Structure 1
Amino acid sequence: MNLSAILVSQFLAGLEMLKQTITLCPEDLWNAPQDKNPFWQVTYHALYFVHEYLAESPETFVPWEKHREVYDFDETQTFEPYDQAALLEYLAFLENHVRERLPQLRLDEVEGHGSRSMLTAELQIYSLRHLMVHTGELMERLGARTGANIDWVGWVHD
């Protein structure tokens, strides 16, 4: 198995775990007013950056068709939340996008410029870490408030 196939497998596994958090999240936790960063927004943030980091560069990135400027955390603004169905739709889009896009990347080349200038392979590992930090955050929030358990997904091989 090559590095590209390994990365695809790990992204799909991470997305599957995030999918579990979305589907198990009750309505009252989805946009709970006591949360500094609502569940839905952390979810969108994680998905958005998986998507953006698969682009050739920030300048060539084309956001999801239902994108709204809610991907970054800003305590001074209130946003209309995405519902679970919309974010599951985005997640399904990204599962396909990861399968198609990742094998096209030249993992041994420097990607981007400025603050995003790094080997493409490193950017993808960075992106996986980002996805899993937020998935873990949501797993903990969900588990602490509802007792829900998320199944570990080690890999996904098509």
Structure 2
Amino acid sequence: MTIQESLASQFHSTVNMLTQAVEQCPEPLWLAAPGQSPNHTWHLAYHTLFYIHFYLSPSDSAFIFWPQHRPEYNYLGSIPWKPGYKPTIDQPYTREEILQYAQFVHEEIDRRTATFDPEAPSGFSWLPFNQLGVMLYNLRHAAHHTGQIIERLRTQAGIGIPWTR
């Protein structure tokens, strides 16, 4: 198995676990920001998929938004270069929209991992490593937020999501 195939497999597994969580999330929890989190579950799911998609691009300038993207909805809090400004995120994505985005991201995973050069520069000025480093950074970020959503399901609704290889 090549590094490209290995990365594709791990990205697909991560998106599959996120998809399972989205599919099983009860509607009240889907629309909630439980506990001390300011972020709704649907928003965490969108954020996770957005950044998988974003960091699969060879660079920030080459990134093409998903057609249903809403400006600034990818941010979970303040926008880093606009101190004190927090975007208005007031129209939830539906479960079906998020599942459509997950399918779109699966296609992007296959397209991008097949052609990426592990030694090429990151393409993102704020990430000081090569493309392999970006892929690993991207997987770590996706796993972090997928885990947050899965923990919400377990603690708030008693729903467990099985591990996917």
Indicate the TM-score class for this superposition, using the shorter chain for normalisation: over 0.9
Instruction: Assess if the C-alpha contact under 8 Å between 2:55 and 2:138 holds in 1.
Output: yes
- The separation in 1 between residues aligned to 2:134 and 2:90, in whole angstroms, is 29
The residue correspondences of 1:2-151 to structure 2 (distance < 5 A) are: 2-32=2-32, 34=34, 35-68=37-70, 69-74=72-77, 76=86, 77-151=88-162
> Once the 2 structures are TM-superposed, how far is the Cα of residue 33 of structure 1 from its aligned partner?
5.1
1:52 partner SS: helix
* TM, length-normalised to structure 1: 0.92
- The separation in 1 between residues aligned to 2:5 and 2:15, in whole angstroms, is 15
Give the letter aligned to residue 50 of structure 1: I
Give the letter aligned to residue 156 of structure 2: R
Q: Deviations over 1:93-122 (max 9, x none)?
A: 111110111111111221214213421001
CA RMSD of aligned residues (A): 1.4
Identity fraction in percent: 31
Change (3 A) 1:31 1:113: closer
Q: Please, which runs of 5 or more residues in structure 1 have no aligned partner?
A: none
Instruction: Assess if the C-alpha contact under 8 Å between 2:11 and 2:139 holds in 1.
Output: yes
Give the letter aligned to residue 153 of structure 1: T
Instruction: Assess if the C-alpha contact under 8 Å between 1:111 and 1:119 holds in 2.
Output: yes
* TM, length-normalised to structure 2: 0.88
- The separation in 2 between residues aligned to 1:15 and 1:126, in whole angstroms, is 15
Instruction: Assess if the C-alpha contact under 8 Å between 2:33 and 2:41 holds in 1.
Output: no
The total of aligned residue pairs comes to 154
Give the letter aligned to residue 72 of structure 1: Y
Q: Please, which runs of 5 or more residues in structure 2 have no aligned partner?
A: 79-85
- The separation in 1 between residues aligned to 2:146 and 2:33, in whole angstroms, is 20
Q: Deviations over 1:66-99 (max 9, x none)?
A: 0012110137434201000000000011111101
* Greater mean alpha carbon deviation, residues 76-85 or residues 48-57: 76-85
- The separation in 1 between residues aligned to 2:122 and 2:147, in whole angstroms, is 27
Instruction: Assess if the C-alpha contact under 8 Å between 2:118 and 2:131 holds in 1.
Output: yes
- The separation in 2 between residues aligned to 1:92 and 1:45, in whole angstroms, is 15
* Greater mean alpha carbon deviation, residues 99-108 or residues 127-136: 99-108
Instruction: Assess if the C-alpha contact under 8 Å between 1:112 and 1:118 holds in 2.
Output: no
> Once the 2 structures are TM-superposed, how far is the Cα of residue 152 of structure 1 from its aligned partner?
0.3
